[in-house]
Every structure is written in C-alpha cells, then in structure tokens.
Amino acid sequence: MSREEVERLQAEGLPSLPRPLPEAPSVAAPSPGTQRRRNGVTLLAEPSQDAIDSADEVLRLANEIKAIELRRQREEALDWFRERAAREAEQLSAEQLRDQQERAKIEADRQHESWLKSWEAYALQRLQALAYDAAPEVRLDLHSTVRERLSSLHPMPAAEVVRKLVDAEVEKACQVWRARKETAGAVEYAMRRLPWDVQHNSDFVHLKLRALKAAAEAVDNIPGSDRRTKEELAVRAVQPITDQYEHIDRASRIVRGLASLLPGATAAELQEANRIVAEALAKSPLGTDKVGMEKIRNAVVTPVRDQVIQRQRQEEEKLLSEKQARAMEQEAARQKREALELRSAAERRVDCKLFRVDDCLRELERKNQIVFDSFPARLEIGQKLKSRIREILVQQIVQKPQLSEEIVRKRIDALTIKHVEDFTD
C-alpha cells in the first residue's frame, strides 16, 4: 500500500461494513435455464436467509481481515516515521554535543593562547630589563623556547611555578647573549689587529673571511673564559693569516720591482716575467724573507732577461741597418736631386744659347757654304739641329758644369756645322 493511501486512511478512517439486504419475497425456483451466479458460485435457486447470512458473514470477515491488514500497514508506516524522527532527534543531539565540545575546545585554546602570550610578553620584558642590547635573534629564540616549554603544560600550573620556569629560560638567554657579546668582542679585537689591506682591500677579502672564521672558531663555545683570554685566543688564531698576508705582500713587492731589473722590456715581456716570478714565489715556503725571495726571483728571471737583451740587440742591429738603408736612400735621392738640378741648369743654359743655331745657319747661307730651298726649310732644319745639339750639349755641361758661356757658344757653332749635313742633301 502506498504512503499516500495510508495517510488518506488515517485521515478518513476505515470504510464501514456493508449492511444486510432486506428480505425479499420468496420466488419460485428458477429453471435450469434461469440459474444465476453470485460471488462466482452458480445458484440453483434463490438464496435462503441462512445462505445470505453466511455470505454476509464471509464478506464481513474478509473486510475485517483487510481492515486488520490496513491497520498493520498503517502502524508500519507510522513506525518508519517514528524511527526517522528518533534518528533525526539523535543526530541533532549529537551535532549539538559536538558543537558544544568544539566551542569548549576553542574557548580553552583561546584561553591557553592568551595565557602563553602573557608569559611570552613577561619573558621579553625580563630580557629587556636584564639585557637591553640583546640581538633580535636572541629575542626570537627566547620567544620560541618559552612557547615550546609552556605549550606542553596541561592543565596550566600556578603562576608562581610558571614564573620560575620563565625566569630560568630568560637567564639562559642572557647567558647566551653575554657569551655572544664576549665572542664578538674578541673576534673584533683580533680583526682590528690584521694588516690594513686585509681589513679594507677587496683583493684580500678571502683572507679576511678566513681570519673571521678562524677567530670565531677559536673562541666559540669556550665556557668559563674571560674576555681577555678569548681575545688572546682570537689573536693567536688569526696570526697565520697575518703571516700569509706578509708573505704575499713581500712577493708582490718583489714582482713589482721587476721593471728595474728589465730595462727596456716590453709590456708582454714584463707580464711574462711577472707571471714566472709570481708562480715561483707562490711555491716558496711561508715565511721566506726578502733575501730568499730575491734569490728565487733572480734565478727564474734570468731567461727572460737574456731574452730581453737578445731582443734589444736584434732591434739595435735592425735599427742600424734601417738607418744605413735610409742614409743610402737619402744619398741616392740627393744625388738624383743634384743631377736633376744640374741637368735643369744645363738645359736652361743651353736653351738660352740655341738661338746660335739659327745665326750659324744664316752665316753659312750667307757664305754660300749651304743653300736652303726656302725659309721654312731652313727653319725646319734649324729645329732638328736644335733638338740634337741640345741633348749633346746638356750632357757635356752636366759632366763639366764649369764650362764658360763662351765655350758653350763655340760648341753650339761647332755642333751646328758638324751635324747640318745630316739634315741636308
């Protein structure tokens, strides 16, 4: 039966039992052809009162059984609703209980956190009073230590007990801070006694870091030592770094002085010499004095010095050869220049006298020693004679610049008479 049908029956109630029918007048027995059926049973005749009562009783009992079944189903449905309501009530009660427990736990945690913060603040105040200059990391360590120490205390102990615990942690933090201060002071004391370059020159920062580490390791975690003892330990720890710096400084001075031992060396030669000497000095035992380093320098720099001397000798020879070549070139240029000047002077002297060719030709023509066909023919022969005589006479003057003007004129006349027949028939 559906849930809706159960709810309808609960609201409307069960249907009433059927009432018996009024008695009917007796009738004749039906014929076989007129037999009727009632409730699935073939009636042979009209039902008697007993049969009717029996059938009604059966029907009443069947309806009662159905009513009982419906009531059972109704009770089962109601039981489901009752169980659901019970479960919901139980669940609600459990949730309310959990909420109460969570609120109680949150409140307890809040009170515990407030209690922790109050004692943390007390610890920091005590540290400020006992060690006002404590570093921030000391305060952080104390804060973490107090919280860790008190967090495991459940239930919260009495305030006096907690105060003693916190005071003990504060005293430990103060002792740690005082030890750190003494250690830092001893390390700083030792660092101030390092050479200036190690303290301030970035080229020696590796030595400074080594000294800082050595000094800190020497005085760290030494219980029961006063400040003076720690300072002595720190100074003793950085002494090897000071010795190493002095060794490096002596070697650097030796290397920087190489230029005076290699006069005239090129930058590349000086660089090579610096490298060789620096490598040799780096292998020298720590603590080698200046004299020992100079011996090492002189031993390893000799090949470089010989190389420089050989190069300088070759350069001097080359310079001398180049100087001689330049002198020869200059002399040749001078001679060439003088020859050109002599020729130019000779050409000017000859050019000034070549008019004598024309005079000589006219004189020969006047004496009938030569006959020209025409004036242009005489000019043409004159030009040819001038070209030949000019070159001959220039060579003679170049060879003998001291020839006088008179001799030059006479030679022009003689050369004209000598070569005129070469241009005439």
> What secondary structure does DSSP assign to 107-149, as a single string?
HHHHHHHHHHHHHHHHHHHHHHHH-TT--HHHHHHHHHHHHHH
Task: Write down the pTM of the prediction.
Answer: 0.44
Looking at every residue in the chain, the average pLDDT score rounds to 82
- CA distances 422 to 312, 392, 418, Å, are 67, 15, 8
- Inside any domain, residue 368: yes
Residue 323 predicted with pLDDT over 90: yes
Task: Please classify residue 145 by burial: count the beta carbons closer than 10 Å to its beta carbon, then call 0-12 exposed, 13-18 middle and 19+ buried.
Answer: middle
What distance in Å separates the CA atoms of residue 143 and residue 126, rounded to the nearest whole number? 12
Position 20 scores a pLDDT of: 54
Q: How many domains does the chain have?
A: 2
Residue 12 predicted with pLDDT over 80: no
The single-letter DSSP state of residue 40 is T
Q: Nearest to residue 306, comparing CAs of 271, 283, 273, 268?
A: 273
The single-letter DSSP state of residue 263 is T
Position 225 scores a pLDDT of: 61
The residue-averaged pLDDT of 191-203 equals 89
Q: What tokens were used for 90?
A: 């139980």
End residue of a domain, out of 335, 364, 393 = 335
Question: Please, are residues 378 and 361 in contact by the beta-carbon 8 Å criterion?
Answer: yes
Position 19 scores a pLDDT of: 54
Residue 119 predicted with pLDDT over 50: yes
The residue-averaged pLDDT of 184-212 equals 89
The residue-averaged pLDDT of 368-381 equals 83
- Inside any domain, residue 398: yes
- Inside any domain, residue 361: yes
Instruction: Indicate whether 315 and 371 sit together in one domain.
Output: no
The residue-averaged pLDDT of 17-23 equals 52
Residue 25 predicted with pLDDT over 60: no
Q: Could you tell me the residue range of the domain that residue 360 belongs to?
A: 354-423
Q: What tokens were used for 34?
A: 């007129």
Residue 34 predicted with pLDDT over 80: no
The residue-averaged pLDDT of 326-341 equals 90
- Inside any domain, residue 208: no
End residue of a domain, out of 335, 363, 387 = 335
Q: Which pairs count as long-range contacts for 204-207, CB under 8 Å and 24+ apart, including other chains?
A: 204/245, 207/241, 207/244, 207/245
Backbone angles phi, psi at 36, to 5 degrees: -115, 165
Helix (H, G, I), strand (E, B) or coil at 224: coil
User: pLDDT tens digits, residue range 280-317?
Assistant: 888 888 888 888 988 988 888 888 888 888 888 998 99
Confidence of residue 324 (pLDDT cuts 50, 70, 90): very high
Position 328 scores a pLDDT of: 92
- Inside any domain, residue 45: no
- Inside any domain, residue 251: no
End residue of a domain, out of 335, 368, 385 = 335
> What secondary structure does DSSP assign to 278-290, as a single string?
HHHHHTSPTT--H
Instruction: Indicate whether 269 and 324 sit together in one domain.
Output: yes
What distance in Å separates the CA atoms of residue 309 and residue 311, rounded to the nearest whole number? 5
- Inside any domain, residue 245: no
- Inside any domain, residue 277: yes
User: pLDDT tens digits, residue range 224-251?
Assistant: 667 788 888 888 999 999 998 999 888 8
Instruction: Indicate whether 314 and 263 sit together in one domain.
Output: yes
Question: Please, are residues 279 and 297 in contact by the beta-carbon 8 Å criterion?
Answer: no
The residue-averaged pLDDT of 154-180 equals 85
Instruction: Indicate whether 363 and 320 sit together in one domain.
Output: no
Instruction: Indicate whether 307 and 369 sit together in one domain.
Output: no
Rg (CA), the chain: 71
